Every structure is written in C-alpha cells, then in structure tokens.
Amino acid sequence: MAADNPLRVVVLISGSGSNLQALIDGWQQQQLPIELAAVISNRPGVLGLERAENAGIPAIVLDHTQFPDRLGFDTALMEVIDSYQAGLVVLAGFMRILTTEFTRHYHGRMLNIHPSLLPKYQGLHTHQRALEAGDVEHGVTVHFVTAELDGGPAAIQARVPINPGDDAASLAQRVQQQEHIIYPLAVKWFAEGRLRMRDGCAFLDNEPLPASGHLIGGAAPNVP
Ligand code: GRF
C-alpha cells in the first residue's frame, strides 16, 4: 500500500481499548501504513473512546441498546463503517455477536483478536478455562472473522507459558502483552498486502498459513 494511499482502518471497541492504543502507537510512530479512519464503540463512556479522541481520531458511539434487534444495530453499524470507506475493520474487544449479514459484508477484510490458542476456548473466560484445564500454555490469536464465532482462519498466534501460581489476572496480563505485539503486526501485514484470506484459508505472502496461523513465542513452559 503506497504511503500516499494508506489503508483506511475502522476499529470497533466496547471497552478499555488497550489493543486500539497499540495500533494508535504504531500508527503515530509511522510503523503502520494505515489511516485510522474512525473508532466506533457500542458502549458510551469507555476509555477506548478517550484514547481515540486524544489521538485525533473520530470517536463514535453507536449504542446497541438503542436498536430493536441485532440486525438493526448491525445495519446501522455497516452504514457508519462504510461512510469512512474502510478497507479493513478491526475488532478490538468488541463484545458483540455479529450477524451473518455483517460478517459477509466484511468478508476477508475484518480481523478479530481472541485471547486463547484457537480453536481452543472460543467464547468467554478463556484464561480461567485454560487454568482449570491444567494447560501448560495459553495465548492469543488474531484471525479473520467469518460467520462462526471465534472461528475464522488464524493469521497470527502467540503462545504464553502458564506459570505455577498464575491466576486468571496474571495470565491475562501476560497474554495482553502479546496481544499488543501481534495485532499491530497482523494489521501491518494486511495493509502491506501480505496477509489475505482466500477460500476460507489465511495466506501470508501467498503461502497458506497453518491452522494456528503464523506462530510467535512458544517459550518452554515453566513447569517444575
Ligand atoms: C482483549 O483481551 C482481547 O483479546 C479480547 O478483548 C480484550 C480487549 O481488551 N477480544 P482491550 O479493550 O483492547 O484492552
């Protein structure tokens, strides 16, 4: 993507927006060939909106409670996103189940980050579930979004060892450090035209990625 024609990215959030901040930082440090065109939150008053405003990015609230049903909200959301001519939609802690109309509309140009080594632990409470299962490692996955919740092809996965004495909070904190590395990297690769989804698979530099996506980390688990 030429520097004078950067990829227009719209970020969807519901909360603190630390992943959004990682993207803002990369963008401001000119490490990402993108334009952060808008940030949209389905919840008013969240910290992520403040982060966007501080960076001079249009910060929009589209409150899902003001819509009669899921499709009504998603349709309005598509209209707002498309008004910013987004080439990529980035879900960064966007806590909504999406309609198939929505996922179809952004097919191949929407990414999500999920705090587990997908396909393990789709859905919520992933850190606690990994601990309860006695796993020795956990992690985070950036994936393309398809109609299946947390189910689209993986782009990048970072592994995090589970240490003795970890609780959900300590584990979540170490996973988040990795989130802030791999999400900007995935967005960069997409903006550079290196990362794509075709025929239901993720490709990097025209090579199909493994089911895990591109792997980062994987330090030996620290077990006695
Ligand atoms: C992250 O843990 C991400 O993996 C999950 O939601 C959380 C969002 O955190 N999808 P933040 O709002 O980016 O701080």
Give one DSSP letter per residue of 60-124, joined into a string. Answer: EE--GGGSSSHHHHHHHHHHHHHHTT-SEEEESS---PPPHHHHHHTTTSEEEEESSSTTSS-SS
Residue 19 CA to ligand 1 center (angstroms) comes to 6
Question: Per the structure block, which two tokens stand in for 154?
Answer: 């993986």
pLDDT tens digits, residue range 160-198?
999 999 999 999 999 999 999 999 999 999 999 999 999
CATH superfamily for 1-106 is: Formyl transferase, N-terminal domain (3.40.50.170)
**How many angstroms from the chain centroid is the CA of residue 25?**
16
Q: Please report which confidence band the pLDDT of residue 1 belongs to, taking 50, 70 and 90 as the band edges.
A: very low
Cβ atoms of 130 and 138 closer than 8 Å:
yes
Q: Is the pLDDT score of 223 beyond 70? A: no
What's the CATH number of domain 113-224, 3.30.565.10, 3.40.50.740, 3.40.50.170, 3.30.70.20?
A: 3.40.50.170
% residues pLDDT > 70 (the chain): 95
What are the sequence ranges of the domains in the chain?
1-106, 113-224
Ligand 1 atom nearest to CA at 179? 4
**Ligand 1: residues within 6 Å at CB?**
13, 15-19, 48, 92-93, 113-115, 140, 176, 179
Ligand 1 atom nearest to CA at 172? 2
User: Alpha-carbon torsion 50, 93, 142, 192, what sign?
Assistant: negative
